Every structure is written in C-alpha cells, then in structure tokens.
Amino acid sequence: MAGRIYATPEQLAAYTDVSAPDGADRLLARASEDVDSALLTAVYPVDDAGLPLDAELRDALRDAVCAQVEFWLAGGDDGTGAAGQWDSVSIGPVSLSGRSGGTAGASGVELAPRAGRALRRAGLEPGYVFPW
C-alpha cells in the first residue's frame, strides 16, 4: 500500500515558482513520508484515505511537503539524505571529514526549516499524545 502523498508536482511547481523536476513524484512521496514521521503524535480527524478533513491542515501538509522538496533541491539532495552529510569529501585516496550538523527535531526527522514552520503554524508540531 502506498503512503499518503500530500502534494502534486503541479502544486510543487506553484510553490517554488519553477517547473517540477524530473522525479518529482518520488521526491514528493519521500517528503510526505518525512512529514508523516514528524507528525507521529499529532492528532487530527482524517478521511478514509488518512488525509486531514480540515482544509487548513491539508494546505499545511502540502506546504510542508513542498518546502521539504524545495530544500532538498536547493541543497542538491535527491531525498535520500545523502547530500550534505560531510563537510569535506575527497575521492582518492578517500578522505571524509566531519559530519555536517543536522536539523532533526524531536521526531528524529530532518525537516526543512520552512516545512517545520508550516506544521507549527497549523498546530501540528510538536504533537502531543493525550491520556484519554
């Protein structure tokens, strides 16, 4: 079963004001997985497909996913997280230098700053588990 994907290539193009790149569907799927991971403790009503019923929450998830992809593209990442892992790399005879600092939140997911802000503005992050 495919996971939820919160944005389309057309929405990504509108968000970034440039054409969606090759592989946009894959990037949007990976970014949607990251957003879902960041929201493991968020509570909100959803439809049968697991999408928020509230239009503002749907818009926030779309914006967060688009911001995540925009961040990856600006940094030369392909959504795998491999780009930017080292602050210096040489190929022969192999030399790796200090790891670059990450921006992982409490969920352990490295979200783009604008993605995190979109989720916080919508009240989705940080999530809370209520003791009912």
- Give dist(CA 40, CA 124) in Å, integer: 10
Tokens of 27: 């990037």
Distance between the two ends of the chain, CA-based, in angstroms? 30
Query: Is 0.85 surpassed by the pTM of this model?
Result: no
Mean pLDDT of 36-41: 88
pLDDT over 80 at 109, yes or no: no
Q: pLDDT above 70 covers what percent of the chain?
A: 70
Give the model's pLDDT for residue 13: 97
Residue pLDDT, tens place only, 7-28 = 999 999 999 999 999 999 999 9
- At 42, the pLDDT band (50, 70, 90 cuts) reads confident
Is residue 95 within a helix (H) or strand (E), and if so which, with residue range? strand 95-96
Looking at residue 96, its pLDDT comes to: 58
In the structure encoding, which two tokens stand for residue 78, read together? 């392909």
Position 59, amino acid: D
When the pLDDT of each residue in the chain is averaged and rounded to a whole number, the result is 82
- pLDDT of amino acid 92: 65
Average pLDDT for 27-32: 96
**Cα angle value 83/10/4 (rounded, 5°):** 70
**pLDDT computed for residue 101 by the predictor:** 46
